[in-house]
Amino acid sequence: MSSIWHGEGRRVRLCEVGMRDGLQNEAAFVPTADKIDLVDALSQAGAAKIEVTAFVSAQAIPALRDAEVVMREIRRRPGVVYSALVPNVRGAQRAIDARSDELNLVMSASESHNLANLRMTRGQSFAALSQVAALAREAGVAVNVSLSCCFGCPMEGEVPATTVLDWCERFVDELGAQGVTLCDTTGMAYPPQVQALVRDFRARWPATALTVHFHDTRGLGLANLLAAIDAGADCFDASLGGLGGCPYAPGASGNVCSEDMVHALALMGYDTGVDLHALMNAAERLPALIGHDLPGQIVKAGRRLDLHPLPDDFEATRARALGRG
C-alpha cells in the first residue's frame, strides 16, 4: 500500500527558484559570473527546472539587473527547463530574446498584494499577461503562471479557494498556460488547506503541469509539501539554502530549502533525481556571496548519517567510565 511515508521511487521534481525568488530579496549584488556558476551547478546537480532570473525593472529589483547576461551564458543541460519570471510585455520580449525556455508569469490571487507588488489591479495584470501569453505563443515559448498568495494574503487574510481556482481557469482555459504554480508567498498555508486546493486543481486540470511553492515562514514548509504530495502534486519550487522572500510582502521569509527537501524526500524513498552532495556544495557557497547565514539546516547539521568526530577527551572518558566498573 502506498502512502506519503513510502515514496516507492515515485518521481518528485525540484524547480529551483533561489536564483530568482531568493536573490531578488538580497541587498548584496551577487556578481554575474557567480550567478552563472551557481545555475550551472544546479543543472549539474539534477534540478528539473531552474528559474534563472527575472526580466523586471532594474530600479525595482537591482539584484537581478544582469538577467540577459545570466540567461545567455549559462551552460544548458539537455532536459532541464530554464525559466524566467516576467511581469509584462517588455520583460517577455527580453526573456524570449535571451532564449528562456519558459516564461513564468506572475500575478497575485489577492488584489492588495497584486497592487503592492505589481502596481496593477488583478484585472489589469491579466490583460497585460494576455499579451505576454500571445507573444510567447508566437515565439513557441512555454508559459507557466505563478499565482501569489493562493493560501492567504498578509494584508487581506483568507483568499478563498474559489478565487484561486477562478484565476487558474482564466490562465489555463482562456490563455492556454501550460503550467500553474500555486504559491504560498508568505507561509500562510497549512496541510489540510493544501490538500484541498491541490485535489481541486488536479480534478479540474489533470493534464496541466502543477507546481506548488511554499515558504517556510511559519515552519510548515515541509509539512505542506508532504500534504501536497499526498494530494497528487509532484513538482515543487524550493530554493538553495532556503533563500528567498517577496520584498513586497510584510514578514516574508525564505522558500522551503532545496537541499533540506531533497534530503527528507530521499529518506522517504522518493526519486528527486538530484545529487544531494552536489546541491549542498552549491549551497555552501551562498553565505560568502550574500554576506549572511541562511536557514538551510542540512548544510549545518550534515546529512542524517554524516558522522561527527568523537570528542578529544573521549578515550579518557571511556577509561574512567570502565574503571568505575
Decide if residue 123 touches ligand COA (CB under 6 A). no
Site residues for ligand COA, 182-221, by CB under 6 A, read: none
Which has the closest alpha carbon to 132: 167, 87, 171? 87
Site residues for ligand COA, 59-88, by CB under 6 A, read: 59-61, 87-88
- DSSP string of 59-88, one letter each residue: TT-GGGTTHHHHHHHSPPPTT-EEEEEE-S
Q: What is the dihedral of CA 33, 34, 40, 44, to 10 degrees?
A: 150
> Of 35 and 213, which has the nearer Cβ to Zn ion?
213
State the Rg of the chain over Cα. 21
Active site residues: 246
Decide if residue 106 touches ligand COA (CB under 6 A). yes
Min separation Cβ 241 and ligand COA, Å: 19
- The interface region with ligand COA, picked from 97-105, 113-121, 153-161, 254-262 by CB under 6 A, is 113-121
> Of 201 and 214, which has the nearer Cβ to Zn ion?
214
Residues in contact with ligand COA, counted by CB under 6 A, come to a total of 18
If residue 178 lies in a helix (H) or strand (E), which one and from where to where? none
All three cell numbers of 17, joined, read 527558484
> Of 39 and 56, which has the nearer Cβ to ligand COA?
56
Min separation Cβ 166 and ligand COA, Å: 20
> Of 106 and 177, which has the nearer Cβ to ligand COA?
106
All three cell numbers of 144, joined, read 507557466
**CB 285 within 8 Å of CB 243:** no
Q: Which residues pair with 209 in a beta bridge?
A: 179
**CB 100 within 8 Å of CB 83:** yes
Q: Which does 228 bind (CB under 5 to 8 A by kind): Zn ion, ligand COA, none?
A: none
Decide if residue 56 touches ligand COA (CB under 6 A). yes
All three cell numbers of 80, joined, read 532541464
Decide if residue 111 touches Zn ion (CB under 5 A). no
Min separation Cβ 238 and Zn ion, Å: 10
**CB 222 within 8 Å of CB 256:** yes
Residue 179 backbone dihedrals phi, psi, to 5 degrees: -145, 155
Pairing mode of beta strands 13-16, 209-214: unpaired
| 215 vs 206: CA distance, rounded Å | 25
> Of 111 and 184, which has the nearer Cβ to Zn ion?
184
- The interface region with ligand COA, picked from 69-77, 114-122, 160-168, 200-208 by CB under 6 A, is 114-122
Decide if residue 118 touches ligand COA (CB under 6 A). yes
Which has the closest alpha carbon to 51: 22, 94, 92, 12? 22
Q: Which does 236 bind (CB under 5 to 8 A by kind): ligand COA, Zn ion, none?
A: none
- The interface region with ligand COA, picked from 117-125, 130-138, 149-157, 255-263 by CB under 6 A, is 117-125
Site residues for Zn ion, 10-29, by CB under 5 A, read: 21
> Of 21 and 259, which has the nearer Cβ to Zn ion?
21
Which has the closest alpha carbon to 53: 26, 77, 21? 21
Give the residues lining the site for ligand COA (CB under 6 A): 24, 54-57, 59-61, 87-88, 90-91, 94, 106, 117-119, 246
Give the residues lining the site for Zn ion (CB under 5 A): 21
